Chain A
Amino acid sequence: MKNKSWVLITSLAVLSSFASAALWSEEVKAVFEQPLLVTSAGQNAEVQILAVLAKRAGLEYSLAKLAAAKDLDNMKTLALVLGTSLKGLGAAGLDMDKERDRVTALVAEAQKRNIPLLCLHLGGENRRGQQTDELITALLPLARMAIVVRSGNIDGIFTKICQEKNIPLIEVEKTADALDPLQKAFR
């Protein structure tokens, strides 16, 4: 039976990324306002978990799995949970192209309205793959902050982009651990 773990890249560049990641996982500053619109980029299941965390954090939020421009009305933050789920796409009757179009239009509208973006990746190692990585590459640079489960950043993809764009990156061990930084990130 095979070993399913990620191939660990042990180059100096990544070692320094890990060192930098520790720097980036600093005290969370409240940089967002409520209410937040919660949606996914990729129709993943973790968007529902973010809604639960938001509720537990006492945040005012609205969950819209197929959020479009009109859902941004009266919202102060767009929280985007990154990660592609073929099951989720199928259940929503979407393919990746349609989902990409939806999210691109949504983010563009948020930018137009000066609504800041919070990116999250809560699915860990299992929620990575070519399509998810394309979403990360396209959307993360636009974020004001990122909260990720550490096992989803084992190759440093989040670290690299956040460093380049000077975006605070908060890494947590487990999905449930995202509650604390999520709460602190909002005024």
Chain B
Amino acid sequence: MVVAAHPLAVDAGLRMLKSGGNAVDAAIAVAVTLNAAEPFASGMGGGGFMVIHLAKEKRTTVINFREKAPHAASPLMFKEKGDAENEWRTSTGLAVAVPGALAGWHLALRRYGTRSFADVASRAVEIAEQGLVISQTFSNINKEEYERLAKNAGPGNCYLNGGLPYEPGDVLRNPDLARTLKLIASKGVEEFYQGDLAKKIVAAVQAHQGIMTLEDLAAYKPTETSPLVGTYKNCTVMTAPPPASGGLQLLQLLNISANWPVKKWGQNSLATIHHLSEAMRFIFADRGRYLGDPDDVGIPVQSLLAKDYAEALASRILPDRPLDDYPSSIFEEKKAKKDNTTHLCVMDQEGNVVSLTQSINDFFGTGIVPEGTGFLLNDHMDDFSSDPESPNAPGPGRRPLSSMAPLIMFKEGKFFLALGSPGGTRIFAALGEIILNVTEFGMSLDDAIEAPRFFSYSVRGKPRPVFVESRIPQSTLLELQKMGYQVEVREAYDKYFGGAQGLMVVKKGKLILGGADSRRDGSGAGY
């Protein structure tokens, strides 16, 4: 079974499984194909996290291929730009963190896969050469990000259609990307980090006022680490640890929720939305205070995940109205809210499972395309804090805090659910709601993913509105307002709330259900 944000990528993964590849082979095939089929949301110019469950070994591991700051990065590098800070953080070479995707894919393949990069990249090469038929989703996003692409991608770049956005039904051909993939297949990943591709990346970054050097690329290494582990009722959740924050925040949300009769309250009821929104606000306070690159800052992970801490937070939440204050944090509200990134899940016949989230940050990243390479460079430096005192301040070689939360869940020791989502800081909330929909409200995976969502957070101890999809009943929204909430209603299936993909085993392991999100071009297939 394969689920991902584009049917062509799902097809690539399924073909890999059918030809005898394992879940890791298939997951990397999907990941690379997304570079061609959903280039605005991820690719070799970005990074991510991958949770792998090895069925025979009964072991779960995490590959961290999050990007890193260049060596010349400093805590004040963005703050000193003043009013132009946001522009520098998203649309210039300074926004580009050293990409980790290719190194991460390569590490996973080498350690746990059975196929070559040429094999897993073959479908991506075909799509890049033959062309991608543009969907409504792609067209909408292409229009939304038009200004940055027009400014940065270079004349004649393939990410615009004759200098204008793509319309649905147009065809995007990317022969440069095809050539790049073939080059890496023949010369190895070193070509990207030390060879001619590295020179092109650095040239493009520096031409756009960035600070990345060849040494930065050559020094990049992905890491393999143990997963972050938590529990919810009779389930064990394994997810990516910091610098991925989403998993930790999700576990906090589930820990707090466990103190309440959520099932009795009902899905998206007034009580459920109120209590979970308050929980989210407390969780954001912790995020701002404690989270950063664990290689540089100490994070009290076990304290944050302690059940009694969750109980204490739950007891602070009032049953009938929101609080006015939350523990102060240094989490900053960014002007431009992000709903980017992509997620995929794969399960093979042996029971191996991969849950992978990857991104180039903003849709279309910085819009910078190294000459002749066909891939977009990320703007993940924007995930660092502006505050030089923050645990998530930029610094040499640091990994910016990520909101990603690819996860694998086990019920009574057996694999139960793989899940993940894009959606920036809303990722953990989306995943928490989906998990509750499945475990508490008995929904099927697809229904759980499609169900309307909500989100809230706090900034410097003060509550922000509760954001809801318009499908949540008007009566509930009125009750929330009466309670004292400022309610902001968004579209019925708004990408703001993520675009989850998941797969779930039911009927005592005899059936695998896939779930894909209409908020993006989600798709799934199995055999």
B167 on the interface (CB 8 Å rule)? Answer: yes
Asked if B493 contacts A87 (CB within 8 A), the reply is no
Of the listed stretches B37-45, B136-144, B370-378, B430-438, chain A binds B136-144
Q: Chain B's nearest CB lies how many Å from the CB of A74?
A: 25
Asked if B140 contacts A175 (CB within 8 A), the reply is no
Residues of chain A contacted by B162 (CB below 8 angstroms): 176
Our pick among B167, B493, B518 for the contact of A175 (Cβ within 8 Å) is B167
A176 to B139, CA, bound (A): 13
Asked if B136 contacts A126 (CB within 8 A), the reply is yes
B337 on the interface (CB 8 Å rule)? Answer: yes
Using CB atoms, name the residue of chain A closest to B494: A86
A residues 105-146 touching B (CB-CB < 8 Å): 123, 126, 129
Asked if B450 contacts A1 (CB within 8 A), the reply is yes
A52 to B446, CA, bound (A): 42
A99 on the interface (CB 8 Å rule)? Answer: no
Please judge, given known A-B contacts A1-B450, A2-B493, A52-B150, whether A85 and B518 are in contact too, CB under 8 Å. Answer: no
Residues of chain B contacted by A91 (CB below 8 angstroms): 86, 335-336
Number of interface residues of A (CB under 8 A): 21
Residues of chain B contacted by A171 (CB below 8 angstroms): none
Residues of chain B contacted by A123 (CB below 8 angstroms): 143
Of the listed stretches A14-22, A26-34, A43-51, chain B binds A43-51
Asked if A174 contacts B167 (CB within 8 A), the reply is yes
Please judge, given known A-B contacts A48-B147, A85-B144, A91-B86, whether A2 and B491 are in contact too, CB under 8 Å. Answer: no
Asked if B516 contacts A90 (CB within 8 A), the reply is no
A72 to B78, CA, bound (A): 35
* Interface 1/0 per residue, B507-527 and A, CB below 8 Å: 000000000101000100000
Asked if B336 contacts A175 (CB within 8 A), the reply is no
Asked if A175 contacts B522 (CB within 8 A), the reply is no
Asked if A176 contacts B164 (CB within 8 A), the reply is yes
A70 on the interface (CB 8 Å rule)? Answer: no
B residues 161-194 touching A (CB-CB < 8 Å): 161-165, 167
Residues of chain B contacted by A187 (CB below 8 angstroms): none
Residues of chain B contacted by A1 (CB below 8 angstroms): 446, 450, 516, 518, 522
A131 to B140, CA, bound (A): 18
Asked if A49 contacts B450 (CB within 8 A), the reply is no
Our pick among A86, A87, A129, A175 for the contact of B165 (Cβ within 8 Å) is A175
Asked if A49 contacts B143 (CB within 8 A), the reply is yes
Residue from B163, B490, B496 having most chain A Cβ neighbours under 10 A: B163
Please judge, given known A-B contacts A1-B516, A49-B146, A175-B164, whether A90 and B450 are in contact too, CB under 8 Å. Answer: no
Asked if B337 contacts A45 (CB within 8 A), the reply is no
Residues of chain B contacted by A174 (CB below 8 angstroms): 167
Asked if A52 contacts B144 (CB within 8 A), the reply is no
Residues of chain B contacted by A87 (CB below 8 angstroms): 144, 336-337
Residues of chain A contacted by B164 (CB below 8 angstroms): 49, 52-53, 175-176
A129 to B337, CA, bound (A): 19
Asked if B150 contacts A93 (CB within 8 A), the reply is no
Residues of chain B contacted by A49 (CB below 8 angstroms): 143, 146, 164-165
A129 to B86, CA, bound (A): 28
A90 to B334, CA, bound (A): 9
Asked if B337 contacts A52 (CB within 8 A), the reply is no
* Interface 1/0 per residue, A88-99 and B, CB below 8 Å: 001101000000
* Interface 1/0 per residue, B73-105 and A, CB below 8 Å: 000000000000010000000000000000000
* Interface 1/0 per residue, A174-185 and B, CB below 8 Å: 111000000000
Please judge, given known A-B contacts A129-B491, A175-B164, A175-B167, whether A90 and B518 are in contact too, CB under 8 Å. Answer: no
Q: Chain A's nearest CB lies how many Å from the CB of B526?
A: 16
A46 to B150, CA, bound (A): 12
Using CB atoms, name the residue of chain B closest to A3: B518
A86 to B337, CA, bound (A): 9
* Interface 1/0 per residue, A151-187 and B, CB below 8 Å: 0000000000000000000000011100000000000
Residue from B143, B167, B493, B496 having most chain A Cβ neighbours under 10 A: B143
Asked if A2 contacts B337 (CB within 8 A), the reply is no
A123 to B143, CA, bound (A): 8
Residues of chain B contacted by A129 (CB below 8 angstroms): 491
Residues of chain A contacted by B167 (CB below 8 angstroms): 174-176
Asked if A126 contacts B140 (CB within 8 A), the reply is yes
Q: Chain A's nearest CB lies how many Å from the CB of B151?
A: 9
Q: Chain A's nearest CB lies how many Å from the CB of B247?
A: 26
Residues of chain A contacted by B139 (CB below 8 angstroms): 126
A93 to B518, CA, bound (A): 29
B145 on the interface (CB 8 Å rule)? Answer: yes
Please judge, given known A-B contacts A1-B516, A2-B493, whether A45 and B450 are in contact too, CB under 8 Å. Answer: no
Residues of chain B contacted by A53 (CB below 8 angstroms): 164
Asked if A45 contacts B335 (CB within 8 A), the reply is no
Our pick among B143, B163, B337 for the contact of A90 (Cβ within 8 Å) is B337
Residues of chain B contacted by A85 (CB below 8 angstroms): 144
A36 to B490, CA, bound (A): 33
Asked if A90 contacts B491 (CB within 8 A), the reply is no
A1 to B165, CA, bound (A): 27
Residues of chain A contacted by B150 (CB below 8 angstroms): 48, 52
Residues of chain A contacted by B144 (CB below 8 angstroms): 45, 85, 87
A93 to B136, CA, bound (A): 28
8 new A-B contacts, CB < 8 A, other than A52-B164, A90-B336, are A2-B493, A48-B146, A48-B147, A49-B165, A85-B144, A87-B337, A90-B335, A175-B143
Q: List 30 A-B contacts (CB under 8 A).
A: A1-B450, A1-B518, A1-B522, A2-B518, A4-B136, A4-B493, A45-B143, A45-B144, A45-B146, A46-B143, A46-B146, A48-B147, A49-B143, A49-B146, A49-B164, A52-B163, A85-B144, A86-B337, A87-B144, A87-B336, A91-B335, A93-B335, A123-B143, A126-B136, A126-B140, A126-B143, A174-B167, A175-B143, A175-B164, A176-B167
Q: Which 10 A/B pairs are nearest by Cβ-Cβ distance?
A: A174-B167, A126-B140, A48-B147, A1-B518, A45-B144, A176-B164, A90-B335, A91-B336, A2-B518, A45-B146
A residues lining the B interface (CB < 8 Å): 1-2, 4, 45-46, 48-49, 52-53, 85-87, 90-91, 93, 123, 126, 129, 174-176
B residues lining the A interface (CB < 8 Å): 86, 136, 139-140, 143-147, 150, 161-165, 167, 335-337, 446, 450, 490-491, 493, 496, 516, 518, 522
